[in-house]
Chain A
């Protein structure tokens, strides 16, 4: 090697290269907070460069809300305006729960594109890569919520719990969305292709969101289905959110959502981190 370097005329290019390579120092590894913020910045930059990815939190919610209000409003509740009071909180829960799925898809893409490996060879607190993008996702979900609630208002939604109730409801949704995201990160780490990931994600999502009390009152359902609907975390959330928006929520309903969220995070976040560290 040395022989080779000597033989070679050291061109300007090589000197310039050698210089800039030598000029680097080795800073202390970043703190967990600092790397989390860096990953959050990355997610924001991605939104800037690929604004289409905001469709899921802007266009979808609008379509969902209009579709379900006018499709079911007349049929189920007799009047769209009346149904909207019942439907909007639920459809908000459903929409945000569904778009949490993209967290898994983004992670899966990172793995298949190799950038995940690069992050894993860095001396950083590894979960910050996930936490950073989850933070930005929370912003995205807030946007979806804001858009749906504004549109709902225009269509005649009148929350009896006032704006405080609405804000509390949105906060509950965000907490729950954060905890639900860990399921998608697990799937994103396990599934080999985006196609299979989408398929499995929908298989989890559809029963969870539709077999719930989002669209109908569970008392109209057969017994066996009723018991599933009652323990379904989406129903638990929808009940609390509906209650908060209309000023009828009980402490118990709210606590239940928080407990479910904490339990889900406590189970699924460590599994995610384990898989993340030991990914083959």
Chain B
């Protein structure tokens, strides 16, 4: 049914949401969000701290009632079919959500029993997960003594006691070292290869770029761009042109020609023989290069880089994705 035999069909949506709104006091934390996530894919939800990512996820996971709009998960209405939805989803929140005083094993056994396993089966399942996540040695230690990476893994393991059809992962690598982060990425990939749909939020462009089939960029409660990573990059038509001249003496003339042909500012970099420009019309690049050739200015090397997602984000929002430090949520102490 899932996974290998997956055929894209227009009605095969894991998540469909229309005009979701969530208001906290006067603050519109989620302000008209539309989403469509296809089954069996990874959907990245990218935005700076405070953009509304967690709130959207909490609404979709039935933890918060929306103040406007509607949504369905696997065709089940969010407002009326909460139980059906809850039996198919799992949520790994932004902060570890286990009983820190219990051991890893005890936590997983508890979760398995709450999912309906009998005690003996629950122990077997907990053991399997601890083994798979490389936590066997820590099984009998209290979770409060785990390292950040171990906590994150046990937290995800607790969400996978029964493989969910849809997994929400809120900022999976928050505060992890690179090795643990790679482990978390492996887990996500393994899940998807088994047919699970994953929706993950992130402040890291790299992560969205690497993991997600499609990405929605959210800022101040509104989705400001949506598409595959390449579509997003293409939608912002800036790229950087680098030109390396064979002879540094040609630079002033080359600079004049390029400014003329590209109609943008051309910068000379510290390397005396190179020039760079931010391009918003790639057709002009060929023009400029042809003109340089006509004027017998030899170009030893050039590159025309497409923008990174970071640059896309910068263009869309006017500020960098991760410029601000995570602030404590208001009200939490």
Enumerate chain A interface residues (CB-CB to B < 8 A): 1, 4-5, 8, 11, 13-14, 16-30, 34-35, 38, 41-42, 45-46, 49-50, 112-115, 117-124, 192-195, 278-280
Contact = CB atoms under 8 A, between A and B. Distances in A.
A123 B102 contact: no
Contacts of B132: 16-17, 19-21
6 contacts: A22-B194, A25-B162, A112-B332, A113-B100, A120-B63, A124-B114
A17 B190 contact: yes
A257 to B, nearest CB: 35
Given A24-B161, A25-B162, A42-B106, 6 more contacts: A4-B210, A14-B190, A23-B128, A49-B142, A114-B95, A280-B64
Contacts of A279: 63
A19 B125 CA distance: 12
Nearest to A31: B116
Nearest to A25: B162
A125 B67 CA distance: 25
Given A49-B142, A113-B97, A22 B91 contact: no
A44 to B, nearest CB: 11
B110 A1 contact: no
B289 interface: no
A124 B61 CA distance: 15
Contacts of A4: 189, 210-211
B158 A118 contact: yes
Which of B113, B158, B194 gathers most chain A CB within 10 Å? B113
Interface in B83-111: 83, 86-87, 89-91, 93, 95-103, 106, 110-111
A46 B102 contact: yes
Given A118-B158, A121-B89, A18 B99 contact: no
Interface of B: 24, 41-42, 58, 61-65, 83, 86-87, 89-91, 93, 95-103, 106, 110-111, 113-117, 121, 125, 128-129, 131-134, 142, 158, 160-163, 183, 186-187, 189-194, 196, 210-213, 331-333
Contacts of A38: 110, 113-114
A29 B115 contact: yes
A9 to B, nearest CB: 12
Contacts, number: 142
Contacts of A23: 128
Given A25-B162, A49-B142, A121-B90, A17 B187 contact: yes
A49 B110 CA distance: 15
A164 to B, nearest CB: 37
A27 B117 contact: yes
A1 B116 CA distance: 33
Contacts of B212: 1
Nearest to A41: B110
Nearest to A1: B213
Given A121-B91, A123-B83, A193 B333 contact: yes
Contacts of B196: 21
Contacts of B64: 280
Contact of B86 (A17, A113, A123, A192): A123
A28 B111 CA distance: 14
Contacts of A118: 91, 93, 97-98, 111, 158
Contact of B116 (A5, A29, A280): A29
B221 to A, nearest CB: 16
Contacts of A123: 83, 86-87, 115
A48 to B, nearest CB: 9
A247 B237 CA distance: 90
A24 B132 CA distance: 12
